[in-house]
């Protein structure tokens, strides 16, 4: 067991962990940040997506020892001043959420996109969430919600 | 039904104003914020982690299960086999043909043979790999044809044909006589996983009053309880099933999944036990969409009017029935599609095999039937030189006409309008059917 101090959502978290434990397991089981979901645990589904130094990564296939001295952002870190992020609001109001299990991962992929490209086209949105599997919605409502969050016209 | 507080303004004036308005789901914002607690997100003090050892072979006699190495893994608190089940080692949604843990025989590669609870998931995982199975292989029944073979060994007590259903209408011979063209084909559909994003999961614990409480990702808590209590030899009021937020079900979480196993481990260890299937567990062990073999003969007159459907539908329900007989029966009920067919003979056959079990899945048998009846329509259209859209329009059910099972349509029958919309769209976008 090693000691880690991790920068997550602007706070420093201290925890013990084995170096080979995944960032996802440490977030969920040790730090109790359970917003990031485990759909496959092998880098296929995107439900564990978090941002590492601003880039979307799959936290289930990232070892905790790899994130020392780096900035992690999870879905819990998006609201500002107690207000949900516009992506969270639009996903809620435009039917982008059914069972909700893919939702945090989708939101993090979308957030990373809008940081880089605030006015993405529909194709760019679809490409940005191509690594996030949603089994419920059929994606259309998600894309519409993300277009609304970006303030781009919806189809 | 309770109405959401944060609904759109249209909601306020009358009880029917909800219809057609877009209403945010009451629980959606929590999901967007990541604060919804699915079972796998929950922890309890002293909680153990569980893993299941699957049989890995489709059909075998169990000669022995050696758990002596597994119990030595540090952190392991319990290793259980069929002998540890306090109640009746049987359950099932429609018939009780499933074992909580395999006892006499292995009937599918997804049969659970042993359970482990340990302090960590890693320890539980290591322990299940140390369980040694002594299995005597039996001839496996791996296809519908195998299951129909009269010399094949019986997977359960009474043969591999679980049940047959029939649909009859009109006079088949007359229909054949009136036909100008007859298309005869065989179709197969494959096994399919629902792939809900959240895997099957349960958290079980004894509450302070001695009630076994199981928080679970399920579609149906009461039916779960009815199956859990007898297996654990508890009276119904000593089992409480709590339906957690569910990360997708699509039919697969209709059956018992992790509930009895988590409950049994909690009962034995008197500790909270969390059992979260890995994706691999989920792919192995849960019900699928039924593979079907469908032999169809369909006739039509030269003007495109259907004359008869004559079909046999064979469904592979795998080693356990789940809701198989109902799914396969439904494929038979829908075998003629949304069309007016005067003469019908459809038989369905629900068969046990040693394959993975199938059960409820979105569409519940109707999709498999559609593969066959729509392919037949396309072939008839081709043979008669009628467009695929027109042959459907000629035959769609309309108000006043009856389905194969005698249900007379009233004004709520929308298939003709739907096909017309497709036709208009295709014409206005210059889309055509092509056939290679
Ligand atoms: S849980 Fe990480 S990609 Fe599926
Ligand atoms: S909302 Fe269920 S998987 Fe996307």
Structure token digits, residue A45: 């589904």
pLDDT > 90 fraction of chain B, expressed in percent and rounded:
92
In this predicted model, what pLDDT tens digit does every residue of B335-388 receive, in sequence order?
999 999 999 999 999 999 999 999 999 999 999 999 999 999 999 999 999 999
pLDDT at B6: 46
| Ligand 2 contacts CB of residue A13 (under 6 A) | no
Give residue B41's Cα distance to chain centre. 26
Ligand at minimal distance from the CA of A49 is 1
Ligand at minimal distance from the CA of A50 is 1
Domain boundaries in chain A? 2-77, 86-150
> In chain B, what residues touch A92 (CB-CB under 8 Å)?
24-25, 28-29, 31-32
In this predicted model, what pLDDT tens digit does every residue of A40-84 receive, in sequence order?
999 999 999 999 999 999 999 999 999 998 999 999 999 999 999
| Ligand 1 contacts CB of residue A57 (under 6 A) | no
What distances in angstroms separate CA B420 from CA B18, B392, B425, one per listed residue? 29, 10, 9
* Alpha carbons B241 and B260: distance in angstroms, whole number: 11
CA torsion through residues B110, B363, B94, B167, sign: negative
Asked if B279 and A136 come within 8 Å (Cβ–Cβ), the reply is: no
- Is B163 within a domain? yes
Per-residue pLDDT band at B435 (split at 50, 70, 90): low
Asked if A100 and B37 come within 8 Å (Cβ–Cβ), the reply is: no
Atom of ligand 1 nearest to the CA of A44: 3
B278 interfaces chain A, CB cutoff of 8 Å: yes
- Is B53 within a domain? no
Return the CATH superfamily for domain A86-150.
[2Fe-2S]-binding domain (1.10.150.120)
**Helical segments of B270-385, H only:** 279-285, 324-333, 366-384
pLDDT at B11: 46
- Is B412 within a domain? yes
Least CA distance to A82: which residue of chain B?
Answer: B33
pLDDT at A133 over 60: yes
pLDDT at B402 over 80: yes
Same fold? A2-77, A86-150: no
Per-residue pLDDT band at A109 (split at 50, 70, 90): very high
> In chain B, what residues touch A102 (CB-CB under 8 Å)?
197
* Alpha carbons B119 and B127: distance in angstroms, whole number: 12
Q: Kindly give, in sequence order, each residue whose CB lies less than 8 Å from that of residue B358, ignoring residues fewer than 6 positions away.
A: B191, B287, B288, B289, B290, B291, B315, B316, B317, B318, B322, B324, B327
Residue B196 Cα, ligand 2 centroid: separation in angstroms?
8
Helix (H) or strand (E) holding A38: none
Going by alpha carbons, the residue nearest to atom 3 of ligand 2 is A134
Ligand at minimal distance from the CA of A131 is 1
Asked if B29 and A35 come within 8 Å (Cβ–Cβ), the reply is: no
Over chain B, what is the mean pLDDT? 95
Q: Kindly give, in sequence order, each residue whose CB lies less than 8 Å from that of residue A48, ignoring residues fewer than 6 positions away.
A: A24, A36, A37, A38, A39, A41, A58, A59, A60, A105
Q: Kindly give, in sequence order, each residue whose CB lies less than 8 Å from that of residue B156, ignoring residues fewer than 6 positions away.
A: B97, B107, B352
> In chain A, what residues touch B247 (CB-CB under 8 Å)?
37, 99-101
Asked if A100 and B33 come within 8 Å (Cβ–Cβ), the reply is: no
Asked if B29 and A133 come within 8 Å (Cβ–Cβ), the reply is: no
For helices A86-93 and A140-150, what crossing angle results, to 10°?
140
- Is B101 within a domain? no
Q: Which of A35, A75, A135 sits opposite B248 (nearest CB)?
A: A135
Q: Which of A79, A107, A135 sits opposite B197 (nearest CB)?
A: A135
- Is B19 within a domain? no
Per-residue pLDDT band at B9 (split at 50, 70, 90): very low
- What's the predicted TM-score (pTM) here? 0.94
Q: Kindly give, in sequence order, each residue whose CB lies less than 8 Å from that of residue B419, ignoring residues fewer than 6 positions away.
A: B389, B392, B393, B396
Least CA distance to B279: which residue of chain A?
Answer: A40
Asked if B196 and A102 come within 8 Å (Cβ–Cβ), the reply is: no
B9 interfaces chain A, CB cutoff of 8 Å: no
CATH code of B310's domain: 3.30.365.10
Specify the number of domains making up chain B.
1
Q: What is the ipTM of this complex?
A: 0.98
pLDDT at B21: 84
Ligand 1 pocket test: which of A40, A57, A62, A63 has the largest number of ligand atoms within 8 Å of its C-beta? A40
pLDDT at B1 over 60: no
Query: Per DSSP, what are the bridge partners of residue B312?
Result: B295, B347
* Alpha carbons B431 and B436: distance in angstroms, whole number: 16
In this predicted model, what pLDDT tens digit does every residue of B258-289 receive, in sequence order?
999 999 999 999 999 999 999 999 999 999 99
Structure token digits, residue B153: 């060994």
Least CA distance to A36: which residue of chain B?
Answer: B34
Atom of ligand 1 nearest to the CA of A58: 2
- Is B251 within a domain? no
Residue B287 Cα, ligand 1 centroid: separation in angstroms?
22
Residue B158 Cα, ligand 2 centroid: separation in angstroms?
41
> In chain A, what residues touch B278 (CB-CB under 8 Å)?
41
Asked if A40 and B22 come within 8 Å (Cβ–Cβ), the reply is: no
pLDDT at B20: 86
pLDDT at B137 over 60: yes
Atom of ligand 2 nearest to the CA of B247: 2
Collapsing DSSP to helix, strand or coil, B81 comes out as coil
* Alpha carbons B249 and B201: distance in angstroms, whole number: 12
Tell me the fold of A2-77.
Answer: Ubiquitin-like (UB roll) (3.10.20)
Q: Which of A32, A41, A76 sits opposite B279 (nearest CB)?
A: A41
Domain region containing B183: 144-192+288-428
Asked if A100 and B27 come within 8 Å (Cβ–Cβ), the reply is: yes
Ligand 1 pocket test: which of A29, A34, A36, A44 has the largest number of ligand atoms within 8 Å of its C-beta? A44
Collapsing DSSP to helix, strand or coil, A64 comes out as helix
pLDDT at B4 over 80: no
């Amino acid at each position: 067991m090693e000691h880690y101090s991790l920068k997550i959502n602007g706070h420093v978290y201290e925890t013990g962990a084995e170096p080979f434990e995944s960032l996802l397991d440490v977030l969920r089981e040790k730090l109790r940040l359970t917003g990031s979901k485990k759909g496959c645990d092998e880098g296929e589904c995107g439900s564990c997506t978090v941002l590492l130094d601003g880039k979307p990564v799959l936290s289930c296939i990232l070892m905790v020892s790899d994130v020392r001295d780096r900035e992690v952002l999870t879905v819990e870190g998006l609201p500002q001043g107690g207000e949900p992020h516009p992506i969270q609001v639009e996903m809620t109001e435009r039917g982008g959420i059914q069972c909700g299990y893919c939702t945090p991962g989708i939101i993090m992929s979308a957030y990373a996109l809008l940081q880089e490209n605030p006015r993405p086209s529909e194709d760019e949105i679809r490409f940005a969430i191509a690594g996030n599997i949603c089994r419920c919605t059929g994606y259309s409502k998600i894309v519409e919600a993300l277009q609304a969050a970006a303030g781009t016209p919806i189809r | 039904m309770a109405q959401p507080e944060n609904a759109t303004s249209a909601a306020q004036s009358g009880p029917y104003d909800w219809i057609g308005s877009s209403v945010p789901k009451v629980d959606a914002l929590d999901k967007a914020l990541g604060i919804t607690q699915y079972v796998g997100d929950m922890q309890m003090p002293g909680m153990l982690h569980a893993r299941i050892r699957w049989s890995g072979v489709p059909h075998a006699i169990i000669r022995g299960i050696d758990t002596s190495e597994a119990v030595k893994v540090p952190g392991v608190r319990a290793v259980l086999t069929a002998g540890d089940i306090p109640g009746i080692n049987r359950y099932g949604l429609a018939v009780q043909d499933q074992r909580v843990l395999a006892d006499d025989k292995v009937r599918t590669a997804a049969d659970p043979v042993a359970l482990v609870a340990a302090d960590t998931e890693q320890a539980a995982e290591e322990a299940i790999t140390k369980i040694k199975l002594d299995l005597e292989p039996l001839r496996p029944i791996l296809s519908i044809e195998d299951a129909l073979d009269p010399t094949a060994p019986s997977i359960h007590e009474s043969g591999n044909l679980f049940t047959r259903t029939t649909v009859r209408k009109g006079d088949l011979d007359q229909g054949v006589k009136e036909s100008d063209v007859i298309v005869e084909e065989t179709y197969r559909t494959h096994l399919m996983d629902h792939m809900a994003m959240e895997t099957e999961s349960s958290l079980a614990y004894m509450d302070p009053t001695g009630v076994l409480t199981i928080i679970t990702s399920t579609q149906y808590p009461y039916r779960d309880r009815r199956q859990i209590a007898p297996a654990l030899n508890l009276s119904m009021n000593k089992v409480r099933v709590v339906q957690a937020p569910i990360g997708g079900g699509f039919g697969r979480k209709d059956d018992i999944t992790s509930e009895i196993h988590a409950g049994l481990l909690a009962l034995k260890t008197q500790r909270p036990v969390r059992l979260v299937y890995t994706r691999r567990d989920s792919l192995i062990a849960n019900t699928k969409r039924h593979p079907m073999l469908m032999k169809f003969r369909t006739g039509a007159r030269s003007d495109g009017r259907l004359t008869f459907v004559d079909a046999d539908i064979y469904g592979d329900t795998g080693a356990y029935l789940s809701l198989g007989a109902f799914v396969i029966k439904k494929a038979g009920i829908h075998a003629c599609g949304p069309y007016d067919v005067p003469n019908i003979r459809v038989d369905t056959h629900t068969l046990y095999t040693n394959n993975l079990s199938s059960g409820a899945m979105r569409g519940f048998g109707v999709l498999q039937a559609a593969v066959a009846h729509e392919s037949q329509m396309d072939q008839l259209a081709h043979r008669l030189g009628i467009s695929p859209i027109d042959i459907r329009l000629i035959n769609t059910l309309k108000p006043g006409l009856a389905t194969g099972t005698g249900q007379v349509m009233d004004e709520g029958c929308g298939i003709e309008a739907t096909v017309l919309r497709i036709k208009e769209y295709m014409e206005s976008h210059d889309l055509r059917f092509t056939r290679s």
